[in-house]
Amino acid sequence: MKSNKAGRIVLEVVMILLSLVFLYPLFLAVINSLKSFQEVMTDVIALPKKLAFENYSYVWKYIDYPRLFLNNTIVTVLGLAGIILISSIAAYKLARTKSRISSIVYFLCIMPMLIPFQSIMLTVLQLAKDINLSDSTWGLGILYWGFGAPLAIFIYHGFVKGIPKEIDESATIDGASGFRLFFTVIFPLLKSVTTTIIIIDVMWIWNDFLLPLLMVNGSPSTKTLTLAAYTFVGQYTSDWQYAMTAMVMAVLPSIIVFMFLQKHIVKGVVAGAVKG
Amino acid sequence: MGKLGRKWSERFEFGFFTWPALICVAIAFYIPFAMTIRYSLTKWNGISKHPKFIGLDNFKQIFSGDANFANASWFTIKYALLYIVLVNVLAIVLAVILDMKLKSKNWLRAAFFIPYILSLVIVGFIWKFIFMQGFESFYDITGWDIFKLSWLGEPGPAFVSVLLVSIWQSIGFYMVIYIAGLQSVPDDLKEAATVDGAGPFRRFFSVTLPLLAPSVTISVFMALTNSIKVFDVILSLTAGGPGGTTYSVAFDIYRDTFQNNMYGYGTAKALILFVAVLIITVIQLTIFKRREVEA
């Protein structure tokens, strides 16, 4: 067994080295965001001689970071709240109603999971312009309701089927019905799936690029974080230190959140994939 | 309340609960989808008031001689196949190692997962920086020719770059799915195989892998749907270059519509992409579902 133990230690060391190499690109992005232009051009690997925090204050002001952060938050929260609300009530009713109409509606709700966004993106933009949802942060958030609903309904539907019907019935006897029954009795029972959906959708909406590119790219005041970082790099093609600063500022919120909620995030991602 | 009244109130409530979702899904998918079908039959620049109806001409033109579309399809197929195989094989290897009782396994799992939480566009830019600036410095230190290659400037290496960055970003996702799958393989099954004298490799191929089948189905499905739609990473990493060799189908549609103003033509391609994705996913799901074994 002794050789087995030695082997395990070697494996452990190899894996740790591998993980460091794996994350090295991110490390390089961070150190180069703190260098002057000269330093980036002469040596990418060396640590910065003097920490150039002015890169951050420059980019912060130039892209109006607080505004972008607010936009991202509005889009994500608004999108998420809508998805959770419309999907949970619909999935609940659909799972509880046994009829032809119910099956058809359920099918119509989840079928779009098979439609790739790229094959409708052009007309989505067209339609959004017609109903005045384009070029607005709020409009973008609202658009996510429909895009997020199919998967959320699918996951909720599977879960509601596992909740005994007697719970509804006893609540009905107590006089609760309709929305009140749902929100006071059923919705609290859906907590674990709701968490899963929140995790998957926050990661998706916060980082989403193509839909914001089509919808809100027109004005600096409506841009999202990723979108602004993309435009910024387009303008500063050779100023790598600013580009890396913008990149780090764009990914930092995700990494911080991940450090605190790591376990939940991994669990939610797995649950979402397995159920979806 | 009479029986009839109750039935109506039930219907009313059903509608009240389900209409909001149906309306939103229709706005996001069904109406745009119907519009896609309509515009695919027209010649339209996206601006003029009246798209000109031309029947199936767009489709005829796409299939009879659109070199861009053919190249983009070929790129997408090659990319998707390699991506699906590599990301799954590597993720299974990682998962098997990280399922062992290593002291640092929590750190390792987190480390390999982190890129997955980052936006692909940003990841593309960071890697562009590594390929363009970082590799120069690596070459100065190591003198290895691999760092001297123009990774984004030549067709072959550029393809590899796109593939590599996509795998780097998403491998953690597949890894955690396989770890979850491995944890549901009962230990006594693995032990029984050891007692029977199976070595680690035999044990993996004849016990663990067959029981991982449900995870493989999910992961291949995910890898397939994601790779066939590849767009973000190409946009920021190579922008379709060099010489248009890294255009994917999704990127080609984007180019035709928004850069070349061929709106009707672009929607026709979009419709073809939809049909292709639909057929491939259905085939894939049927094949893999049949192969799964009960644990």
How far is B246 from chain A, CA to nearest CA, in Å? 17
Residues A166 and A215 in one domain: yes
ipTM surpassing 0.95: no
A178-211: pLDDT as tens digits: 888 899 889 999 999 999 999 999 999 999 999 9
Query: Into how many domains does chain A fold?
Result: 2
- Does residue B208 belong to any structural domain of this protein? yes
CA-nearest residue of chain B to A22?
B112
- Does residue A266 belong to any structural domain of this protein? no
- Does residue A273 belong to any structural domain of this protein? no
Dump the DSSP string for A31-79: HHHTS-HHHHHH-SSSPPSS--THHHHHHHHHTTHHHHHHHHHHHHHHH
**pLDDT tier at A2, thresholds 50, 70, 90:** low
Cβ(B257)–Cβ(B267) under 8 Å? Answer: yes
- Does residue A18 belong to any structural domain of this protein? yes
**pLDDT tier at B293, thresholds 50, 70, 90:** low
Residues A124 and A74 in one domain: yes
- Does residue A128 belong to any structural domain of this protein? yes
- Does residue A7 belong to any structural domain of this protein? yes
Between A and B, how many CB-CB pairs are < 8 A?
Answer: 242
**Mean pLDDT across B63-79:** 91
SS3 of residue A132 by DSSP: coil
Residue B211 CA, distance from chain mean position: 24
- Does residue B111 belong to any structural domain of this protein? yes
- In chain B, residues with a C-beta closer than 8 Å to the C-beta of A266 are 109, 113, 176
**pLDDT tier at B295, thresholds 50, 70, 90:** very low
Residues B135 and B275 in one domain: yes
Question: How confident is the model at residue A154, as a pLDDT?
Answer: 92
**Mean pLDDT across B82-108:** 92
How far is B36 from chain A, CA to nearest CA, in Å? 6
- Does residue B193 belong to any structural domain of this protein? yes
Residues A162 and A230 in one domain: yes
Cβ(B239)–Cβ(B151) under 8 Å? Answer: no
- Looking at A220, A235, A250, the residue that finishes a domain is A235
Question: How confident is the model at residue B2, as a pLDDT?
Answer: 58
CA distance B259 to B239: 13
**Facing A149 at nearest CB: one of B24, B113, B250:** B24
- Does residue B155 belong to any structural domain of this protein? yes
A24-48: pLDDT as tens digits: 999 999 999 999 888 888 888 888 8
CB contact under 8 A, A40 and B168: no
Residues B234 and B177 in one domain: yes
- Does residue B175 belong to any structural domain of this protein? yes
CB contact under 8 A, A266 and B136: no
Residues B106 and B203 in one domain: yes
CA distance B5 to B238: 64
Question: How confident is the model at residue A3, as a pLDDT?
Answer: 60
Cα separation values, A147 from A155, B270, B280, Å: 14, 18, 22
Residues B158 and B270 in one domain: yes
Among A residues 193-222, those touching chain B with beta carbons less than 8 Å apart: 203, 206-210
List the domain range (segments joined by +) for residue B20: 4-10+15-39
B246-264: pLDDT as tens digits: 999 999 998 888 888 888 8
- Does residue A10 belong to any structural domain of this protein? yes
Nearest to A147 by CA among A83, A86, A100, A194: A83
- Does residue B198 belong to any structural domain of this protein? yes
Residues B35 and B76 in one domain: no
Statement: residue B278 has pLDDT above 70: yes
**Facing B32 at nearest CB: one of A41, A120, A233:** A120
B159-186: pLDDT as tens digits: 999 999 999 999 999 999 999 998 887 7
CA distance A161 to B31: 30
**Mean pLDDT across A60-80:** 93
- In chain A, residues with a C-beta closer than 8 Å to the C-beta of B39 are 122-123
**Cα separation of the two ends of chain B:** 52
Kindly report the average pLDDT of chain A as a whole number: 89
Residues B151 and B208 in one domain: yes
Tokens of A258: 């991940």
Residues A79 and A42 in one domain: no
CATH number at residue B285: 1.10.3720.10
**Mean pLDDT across B138-144:** 86
Residues B122 and B81 in one domain: yes
Residues A45 and A135 in one domain: no
CATH number at residue A221: 1.10.3720.10
Statement: residue B112 has pLDDT above 90: yes
**pLDDT tier at B3, thresholds 50, 70, 90:** low
List the domain range (segments joined by +) for residue A120: 64-235
Query: Into how many domains does chain B fold?
Result: 2
- Looking at A34, A57, A80, the residue that finishes a domain is A57
CB contact under 8 A, A32 and B129: yes
Residues B185 and B125 in one domain: yes
- Does residue A193 belong to any structural domain of this protein? yes
Residues A200 and A231 in one domain: yes
Tokens of A270: 């797995």
Residues A87 and A153 in one domain: yes
**Facing B270 at nearest CB: one of A16, A122, A250:** A122
Residues A10 and A96 in one domain: no
Mutate which: A40, A98, A115, A122, vs B, most B CBs within 10 A: A122
Residues A160 and A43 in one domain: no
**Facing B112 at nearest CB: one of A19, A86, A126:** A19
B289: Cβ contacts below 8 Å, ≥ 6 apart: B217
Across A3-12, A121-130, A249-258, least confident range: A3-12
Statement: residue A228 has pLDDT above 50: yes
Residues B31 and B155 in one domain: no
Kindly report the average pLDDT of chain B as a whole number: 87
Residues A19 and A51 in one domain: yes
* A178 touching chain B per CB within 8 A: yes
* A107 touching chain B per CB within 8 A: no
CB contact under 8 A, A118 and B109: no
Left (φ > 0), alpha (ψ -120 to 50) or beta: where does A135 sit? left
Statement: residue A276 has pLDDT above 70: no
Question: How confident is the model at residue B12, as a pLDDT?
Answer: 86
Residues B19 and B114 in one domain: no
How far is B251 from chain A, CA to nearest CA, in Å? 9
Dump the DSSP string for B110-129: HHHHGGGGS-HHHHHHHHHH
Question: How confident is the model at residue B26, as a pLDDT?
Answer: 96
* B279 touching chain A per CB within 8 A: no
Residues A105 and A20 in one domain: no
Residues A160 and A40 in one domain: no
- Does residue A253 belong to any structural domain of this protein? no
**Mean pLDDT across A160-171:** 88
DSSP label of B52: E
Residues B130 and B215 in one domain: yes
- Does residue B52 belong to any structural domain of this protein? no
Nearest to A18 by CA among B256, B65, B198, B93: B93
- Does residue B146 belong to any structural domain of this protein? yes
CA-nearest residue of chain B to A89?
B17
Statement: residue A219 has pLDDT above 50: yes
CA distance B120 to B266: 24
Among A residues 120-159, those touching chain B with beta carbons less than 8 Å apart: 120-124, 126-127, 131, 143, 145-147, 149-150, 153
